[in-house]
Amino acid sequence: MLSIEDALTLVRETARPLPVESVPLGDALGRTLAEDVASDCDVPPHDKALVDGYAVRSVDFQRRPTRDDPMPVELAVVEEVTAGAVPTVPLTAGHATRIMTGAPLPPGADAVIMVEDSTWQNESGVPLGVVQFQSALKLKPEMNLMRRATSIRQGQVVLHAGSELRPAEIGLLAEVGRRDVRVAGRPRVAVLATGNELVDAGLTPAAGQIRNSNGPMLLAWARRLGASTIDLGIARDDREAITRRVSEGLTADVLLLSGGVSAGVLDLVPEVLQSLGVRELFHKVDLRPGRPLWFGVHETEATRTLVFGLPGNPVGSLVCSEIFVSAALRRLAGHSAAEPPPLMATLDGEYHQRGDRPTYHPARLRHEGATAIVEPVVWHGSGDLRALAEANCWAIFPPGERHFQSGETIPCRPME
């Protein structure tokens, strides 16, 4: 039986990044960038105003009014520049340009004064009128403006391969002129639930039957991590039925099998996988819940599939997915960043740990200021799906028997 870390190492070493593909920018959200991206332009492409107001020369404000000279500064407006327009009149002494947010600054301007700090009035002989600024205004050069290339220089690399493309990155790619982008492939995950006792969610279970919750849960979980999914439905505890469905699943990048991997008479999954040429890499992990976990790989000239035989109970199935399958999906999707370490949090309430395996207990994580607080939820064992619905993290307790006091610091892992 492998330790969690040894099993994780095998999973990471076995998973390989999928082939790179080019996709339209609108389809790139959540994908992993497979190339360094450099800007084709300066950003901003010109000196620009950051507020609506007036572009001015700070030298025109060097006269400081006194009690004997309380007059405001008055400048003639020579032009109006809106966003998308280009100034045509350079600023000279005694002049200002009315300007909108984002518009290019006229030559000679070195500050922008907000329109709220000005008073405009019409004046004969001055087509665009004059603007006055109160004597108390504190003007500094470079105020309310952004110089060309302050954010990005043409040719500068703005995103590196391995970056996750969130909405901000999508916007940045658009800003630097990318309509298409090269990304790591999107993993395809097939999910098969096994068991004579399972029926679809829309059916009323007969005596001895239960609804298939693992299949929909694992499909949703994989989609949330950015994978495309294949629903293989339910296979009865029959070699032929399991073999047929598993063969379909071996066309995907990852096959998740729920149930049938323990040591019972009808736990047929390992035998079927072996008959189909799936090479076993480990079976059983030092983990509670989730010990029966099975992992292997199936390789042909055309396909390479990572196969996870997950426990049939929902809590064990999900915790194994969160620890091991997520590591494989990250690797397949081209993520370069290391997986985050466990978060250290203060235990809210007492907890008594029993057994010789590390325990991942469903829990609620909250923050009070800068302090992370973790509270184990009421949990009635590995079949308690309700506890999962109340949890947003896993509280991690080491093996051995020990009583944990409220206020102790323990590791926890937020749920995906």
Q: Average pLDDT in the 292-312 region?
A: 94
CATH superfamily of 30-43+150-184: Molybdopterin biosynthesis moea protein, domain 2 (3.90.105.10)
pLDDT digits (tens, 9 = 90+) for 303-342: 999 999 999 899 999 999 999 999 999 999 988 767 788 9
pLDDT digits (tens, 9 = 90+) for 385-409: 999 999 999 999 999 999 999 999 9
Nearest to 52 by CA among 73, 77, 82, 78: 82
pLDDT digits (tens, 9 = 90+) for 339-363: 788 999 999 999 999 989 999 999 9
Q: What is the pLDDT of residue 70?
A: 60
Q: What is the pLDDT of residue 67?
A: 56
pLDDT digits (tens, 9 = 90+) for 7-22: 999 999 999 999 999 9
CATH of domain 4-18+186-332: 3.40.980.10
Is the pLDDT reported for residue 267 higher than 80? no
Q: What is the pLDDT of residue 167?
A: 97
pLDDT digits (tens, 9 = 90+) for 41-76: 999 999 999 999 999 999 988 865 555 556 688 999
Q: Running DSSP on this structure, what letter comes out for residue 190?
A: E
Q: 48-146 adopts what CATH topology? A: Molybdopterin biosynthesis moeA protein; domain 3 (2.170.190)
Domain positions in the chain: 4-18+186-332, 30-43+150-184, 48-146, 343-414
Please list, in sequence order, all residues whose beta carbon lies within 8 angstroms of the beta carbon of residue 200, skipping any fewer than 6 positions away. 211, 212, 234
Calpha distance 3→9 (Å, rounded): 10
Q: Average pLDDT in the 281-300 region?
A: 95
Instruction: Give all strands of the β-sheet with 279-283 in edge-to-edge order.
Output: 228-235, 188-194, 254-258, 304-310, 294-299, 279-283
Q: Which CATH architecture has domain 343-414?
A: Beta Barrel (2.40)
Q: Average pLDDT in the 229-235 region?
A: 96
Its pTM stands at 0.82
Output the average pLDDT for the chain.
92
